[in-house]
Amino acid sequence: MLGYINRKKTNSIKWDWYEWNKHLFMEKDILPMWVADMDFEAPEEVIHALKERMEHGVYGYTFEPVDLKDNIINWLKYKHNWEIKKDWLLSMHGVIPALNFSIQLYTNPGDNILVQTPVYPPFMSSVKNNNRKLLINELKLENNHYEIDFDDFERKAKEAKMFILCSPHNPIGRVWKKNELEKMAEICLKNDVLIVSDEIHADLTFKNFKHIPIASISEEVSNNTITLMAPSKTFNIAGFHYAFAIIKNVELRNKFKNWIKQSGLFLHNIAGLVAANAAYKYGKNWLIETMEYIEENYKFVREYFEKNIPEVGVIKSEGTFLVWLDFRKLNLSQDELKDLLEKKAKIGLNNGITFGTNGEGFMRMNIATSRENVMEACKRIENVIKGE
């Protein structure tokens, strides 16, 4: 089995949440299946590289490893068949900071920004916190599978300045098909809407699905796209806060580079640079094994619910380690659902309503943990629904 270890008492936001935010859940003794990091050890080569660097003992100001961008370029070619150039890459301290910077740089207060819900909550809070207006294109749930409402998307795009794409999509697990990406990109180009594509889950697709970076579709789309990526979800190194933007368009890229200088964010954490470099250079086999395990966890959840809790739907997923659960048949209010799961089942999931109004009646479960934890979570949900 993967290197699953006990994370309690390590200042883990996921496992030690009570010390971090006592108001997050109602009960202290819950099984946490929420925030999007894994309970597995990072690749052995990453751990070795970090140990070697830390044992040096001097941790002064540090620039990027000379081969970091080459390793990122090689990874994108291997994993996504996407060829980029070194000068398109800009290192960042995280995808969410980069998302906020993009909003500030390429739109003005009061501008409309298009997002597709249900979606990762910072998409919406980033828009609101920067005094922009949200335009919502609600994804349609049909036959337990989400699709894009393109008629609505096109109507909203006519009013938008920017479109923030989540690809693969969190929390619904969609890996967008090429024709879907092409259609969204075409509408954005036609209406002069800049695409900011959060592709942090790009590497985490199931066996029969392949992620396509939207900027790889064509030169025209590439010149209209800011792509945001990171090794954090892929290799479970989110705590190091390293990410990067890929910007082909020279004008857009120079604007972003100037903002990095103006913000004083041009240097990075030693450990983050070392971890990212080792992960992209040596993490291939670790990721293959990890995704096999996660996909088996997903299959277990889906089959368990179908057999034992058919009144709760497991949305069809194509990737990520996040499962979107549909509790609407229980006819509970969101507060009642939250109360049931936290107080009675003693399980901590992400509240669906935080992903948008069409997340009401849903919860998000993180399955990047041991099979034992996944089994226990399923049993707890079954028992509380059956009143046992």
Q: Give yes or no: residues 278 and 345 share one domain.
A: no
Report if residue 175 sits inside a domain: yes
Report if residue 1 sits inside a domain: no
Owner of token pair 């993009």: 102
How buried is residue 41: exposed, middle or buried, by Cβ count under 10 Å (0-12/13-18/19+)?
middle
Report the number of distinct structural domains present in the chain: 2
Backbone phi, then psi, for 192, in 5-degree steps?
A: 55, 50
Report if residue 52 sits inside a domain: no
Q: Give yes or no: residues 161 and 232 share one domain.
A: yes
SS3 226: strand
Contact 232, 240 (CB under 8 A): yes
Q: Give yes or no: residues 36 and 84 share one domain.
A: no
| Cα distance between residue 269 and residue 243, in whole Å | 11
Report if residue 50 sits inside a domain: no
Range of the domain at 68: 58-282
Report if residue 25 sits inside a domain: yes
Instruction: pLDDT band for 13, please (50, 70, 90 cuts).
Output: confident
Q: Give yes or no: residues 233 and 342 share one domain.
A: no
| Cα distance between residue 327 and residue 310, in whole Å | 10
Contact 12, 203 (CB under 8 A): no
Report if residue 340 sits inside a domain: yes
Q: Which of 318, 320, 317, 327 is nearest to 347 (CA)?
A: 327
Give, as one character, the DSSP assignment of residue 16.
S
pLDDT on residue 303:
98
SS3 8: coil
Contact 149, 180 (CB under 8 A): no
Give me the CATH number covering residue 208: 3.40.640.10
Report if residue 9 sits inside a domain: no
Q: Which of 289, 315, 283 is nearest to 302 (CA)?
A: 315
How buried is residue 370: exposed, middle or buried, by Cβ count under 10 Å (0-12/13-18/19+)?
middle
Q: Give yes or no: residues 75 and 198 share one domain.
A: yes
Q: Give yes or no: residues 231 and 298 share one domain.
A: no
Instruction: pLDDT band for 186, please (50, 70, 90 cuts).
Output: very high
A 10 A CB-CB count for 151 gives 9
Q: Give yes or no: residues 105 and 234 share one domain.
A: yes
Q: Give yes or no: residues 346 and 326 share one domain.
A: yes
pLDDT digits (tens, 9 = 90+) for 82-138: 999 999 999 999 999 999 999 999 999 999 999 999 999 999 999 999 999 999 999
Owner of token pair 């277990």: 300
- The number of residues in the chain equals 388
Contact 50, 271 (CB under 8 A): yes
SS3 306: helix
Report if residue 134 sits inside a domain: yes
Question: Of 258, 282, 306, which residue constitutes the final position of a domain?
Answer: 282
Q: Give yes or no: residues 373 and 238 share one domain.
A: no
pLDDT digits (tens, 9 = 90+) for 39-55: 999 999 999 999 999 99
SS3 246: strand
Q: Give yes or no: residues 267 and 353 share one domain.
A: no
Q: Give yes or no: residues 355 and 219 share one domain.
A: no
pLDDT digits (tens, 9 = 90+) for 328-378: 999 999 999 999 999 999 999 999 999 999 999 999 999 999 999 999 999
Taking 80 as the threshold, does the pLDDT of residue 299 lie above it? yes
